[in-house]
Chains A and B, each alone.
Chain A
Amino acid sequence: MTEPTTDRGPVAADVKADSSKEAGQRVESMQKMKVDVGGGGERRNPGDETKALFEVEDLSCYYGDFRAVRDVSMTVPMNRITAFIGPSGCGKSTLLRWFNRMNDLVPSAHITGSIKYHGVDLNDDRVDAVEVRRRIGMVFQKPNPFPKSIRENITFGARIAGYKGNMDELVEKSLRRAAIWDEVKDKLNQPGTALSGGQQQRLCIARAIAVEPDVILMDEPCSALDPVATLKIEELMFELRDEYTILIVTHNMQQAARASDETVFMTMGEDRAGYLVEKGPTTEIFTNPKHQLTEDYVSGRFG
């Protein structure tokens, strides 16, 4: 790990420090093993040397009077990939966007209940949404690079965060970690929008990790990509897991099965509000679900 871009206080620094050494070894071993995408990669057990990063308590999300998500209570483990699956309209994306206050931009959106991050209520009035988003980055459904050069796509976040280090190093490091460096190293001054869809999405991931967040939220990051590009992003997620906590919303059940440690299954009730049916280790959700609705969904009988 190099220097953090901003002073994040002791919490984030501690978190990174205690797992970094081990993380390095794991990356090596994982690269040797080569991620077995068919069988679900190198999955990690829940509760194993990690603690809850987010605690969601009785969370209901509203748009105006409409309740989109009701009564979600769960924890999200640190340094794990947590996948959110469920039928369209069950509120997965809505829920995800509350983890970094992205819904602040939607005037009618509000919640009851709380999401705690390191024990701090993210929606407390005293919490600065801009600071939240600096620590909890996001990759969106449709690749949305800035219509500027590849370099500027990476440096923007660091620049506004007051990064004082070497920008060229930051650009290279971020692009390398997003597994796109080799493809773009000779055209850093070309617009990011000129890349292919899969490359654009990896550029967006590089942009997100350039500000050294703790968490990356991914809202269906592969829905606009072809299978090869999707595979690259999934491999990338496994590598990023050592340093980041990843929350991913996906429509693609195979993706959740391949590329996550924990799976959250949500569905829609008769009041059209989404709710959490079951959450557990991905292998369990897909092979031995406790709930009939989960079994129907993962076996393709519903949704």
Chain B
Amino acid sequence: MSGSLGTLGGQDVVQEQVRRALEGRAVDWRSRVFEGFLVFSLLVSFFFLLWLLVSQIVASMPVWQERGLIDFITSPTNSNPDKAGVGQGIFGSIVLMFIVSLLALPIGVAAAIYLEEYAPDNLVSRTLNTVIRNLAGVPAVVYGILGLSFFVLAAEPITGGRTIISGGLTLAVLVLPIAIIVTAEALRSVPASIREAGFGVGATRWEVIRSHVLPYAAPGILTGVILTMARAFGETAPLLLVGAVAGSFSLPSSATVVDRLSGPYTSLPTIIFNWSVLPQQGFRALTAAAIVVLLVIILLINAVAIYLRNRYARKW
């Protein structure tokens, strides 16, 4: 180097060498190919979602045109496709969500706080963590069996057997491990330095958790729990086992709240399952319409979760 700096010609040579080295890979094919593969993967997943949405919307058009949205989402189930609607299903699903959020939310959050903030890091707590992760992966139908044997049969005096209360309890148990996992992850995202800061000014463990860890983790917990709810909203199999009606039923218009909670019930996904196996042509469009309603509701729930996450997102 130092020798070539002596003359102007030497400098030109160096400049040319540096230019060639720097410009050598103007087109990096390997990274282009890799990028293309990544985009393709994204499109594959996106394609099926889009295809599902478009095909169901197209198939459901007769329902919207002939019946209208309001009539469809308020009518009760009926064996006549011209009169059937998803009103009972929406009502049932909302009540189920209510029961789930009443139970799975506080219990899941409390269990996660214990696991993350209090439990010593030993064999027992590590085993518990693993078990919970496995429970989250257990097929929903297994929870249906559990709900049937426990809530419907063993706890019949309390739940009233095949009622919406048993259904809600079963779904709550189903999503409990997921609620624990999402809460634990939100708690873990609060940096250890914040806890140290709290302890450093003489706060007790509870004061640190209540005043700092929980408030800072709250947006994450909320988002996670809402997504958990969306998961419960779409479950069908366990409900079929614990007594959701997969056919048509009707309650007298004079039915009280108690009647509705202790009588026959159904949920939106249960209705979809039921209609999809019926032979009459008219139910094809109805099934598609119910799917569209379900998808829209789940997308709305997710939109709320995303909004809350962005609204309260915290930078450390």
Q: What is the interface of chain A, defined by CB distance below 8 A to chain B?
A: 100, 102, 105, 107, 130-131, 133-135, 137-140, 142, 144-147, 156-157, 160-161, 193, 204, 207-208, 210-211
- Interface residue total, chain B, C-beta cutoff 8 A: 22
List 5 tightest A-B contacts by C-beta distance, closest first: A134-B202, A157-B201, A138-B200, A144-B193, A144-B197
Chain B residue nearest in CB terms to A209: B201
Sample (30) of A-B pairs whose CB atoms are under 8 Å apart:
A102-B196, A102-B199, A102-B200, A105-B195, A105-B196, A107-B121, A130-B204, A133-B199, A134-B201, A137-B200, A138-B200, A140-B193, A140-B196, A142-B193, A144-B193, A144-B194, A144-B196, A144-B197, A145-B197, A147-B316, A156-B198, A156-B203, A157-B203, A160-B201, A160-B202, A160-B203, A160-B204, A193-B316, A208-B200, A211-B201
User: Which B residues between 176 and 223 are near A, CB-CB below 8 angstroms?
Assistant: 191, 193-204, 207, 211-212, 216
- Please determine whether B315 and A133 come into contact, CB atoms closer than 8 angstroms: no
CA distance A107 to B122 in the complex (A): 10
Chain B residue nearest in CB terms to A101: B199
In the complex, chain A residues whose CB is within 8 Å of the CB of B199: 102, 105, 130, 133
**With A156-B211, A160-B207, A161-B202: A140-B314 Cβ-Cβ less than 8 Å:** no
Cβ-defined partner of A133 (8 Å) among B201, B212, B216, B316: B201
Tell me the minimal C-beta distance from A122 to chain B in angstroms.
14
Q: Which of A107, A138, A145, A156 has the most CB of B within 10 A?
A: A156
Tell me the minimal C-beta distance from B85 to chain A in angstroms.
48
CA distance A144 to B201 in the complex (A): 12
CA distance A100 to B200 in the complex (A): 8
**With A144-B196, A145-B197, A156-B211: A193-B202 Cβ-Cβ less than 8 Å:** no
CA distance A112 to B271 in the complex (A): 68
Beyond known contacts A102-B199, A133-B199, A144-B193: 18 more, CB 8 A cutoff: A102-B196, A105-B195, A105-B196, A130-B202, A130-B204, A133-B200, A134-B201, A137-B201, A138-B196, A140-B200, A144-B196, A146-B194, A156-B203, A157-B201, A160-B202, A161-B202, A193-B315, A208-B200
Mask: chain B, 142-172; 1 = CB below 8 Å from A; 0 = not: 0000000000000000000000000000000
Tell me the minimal C-beta distance from B113 to chain A in angstroms.
16
Cβ-defined partner of B202 (8 Å) among A105, A133, A145: A133
Tell me the minimal C-beta distance from A109 to chain B in angstroms.
12
CA distance A226 to B198 in the complex (A): 26
Count the A-B residue pairs with Cβ separation under 8 angstroms: how many?
Answer: 70
CA distance A211 to B207 in the complex (A): 15
Chain A residue nearest in CB terms to B196: A140
Tell me the minimal C-beta distance from A48 to chain B in angstroms.
30
CA distance A145 to B207 in the complex (A): 16
Cβ-defined partner of A156 (8 Å) among B121, B196, B201, B314: B201
CA distance A208 to B89 in the complex (A): 57
Chain A residue nearest in CB terms to B314: A147
CA distance A160 to B212 in the complex (A): 13
CA distance A144 to B194 in the complex (A): 6
User: Which B residues between 255 and 277 are near A, CB-CB below 8 angstroms?
Assistant: none
- Please determine whether B202 and A204 come into contact, CB atoms closer than 8 angstroms: no
In the complex, chain A residues whose CB is within 8 Å of the CB of B314: 147
Tell me the minimal C-beta distance from B10 to chain A in angstroms.
39
CA distance A130 to B194 in the complex (A): 16
Tell me the minimal C-beta distance from A151 to chain B in angstroms.
14
* B120 proximal to A (CB < 8 A): yes
Chain B residue nearest in CB terms to A104: B199
Chain A residue nearest in CB terms to B122: A107
In the complex, chain A residues whose CB is within 8 Å of the CB of B197: 140, 144-146, 204, 207
Cβ-defined partner of A130 (8 Å) among B203, B212, B216: B203
In the complex, chain A residues whose CB is within 8 Å of the CB of B316: 147, 193
CA distance A193 to B197 in the complex (A): 13
Tell me the minimal C-beta distance from A61 to chain B in angstroms.
17
- Please determine whether A147 and B203 come into contact, CB atoms closer than 8 angstroms: no
CA distance A147 to B120 in the complex (A): 27
Tell me the minimal C-beta distance from B82 to chain A in angstroms.
58
CA distance A170 to B5 in the complex (A): 66
In the complex, chain A residues whose CB is within 8 Å of the CB of B120: 107
In the complex, chain B residues whose CB is within 8 Å of the CB of A139: 200
Tell me the minimal C-beta distance from A57 to chain B in angstroms.
25
Tell me the minimal C-beta distance from A113 to chain B in angstroms.
23
CA distance A157 to B194 in the complex (A): 13
- Please determine whether A208 and B201 come into contact, CB atoms closer than 8 angstroms: yes
Tell me the minimal C-beta distance from A204 to chain B in angstroms.
7
Tell me the minimal C-beta distance from B153 to chain A in angstroms.
43
CA distance A211 to B201 in the complex (A): 7
In the complex, chain B residues whose CB is within 8 Å of the CB of A204: 197
Tell me the minimal C-beta distance from B313 to chain A in angstroms.
11
In the complex, chain B residues whose CB is within 8 Å of the CB of A145: 197
CA distance A105 to B191 in the complex (A): 14
- Please determine whether B202 and A211 come into contact, CB atoms closer than 8 angstroms: yes
Tell me the minimal C-beta distance from A135 to chain B in angstroms.
8
Tell me the minimal C-beta distance from B311 to chain A in angstroms.
15
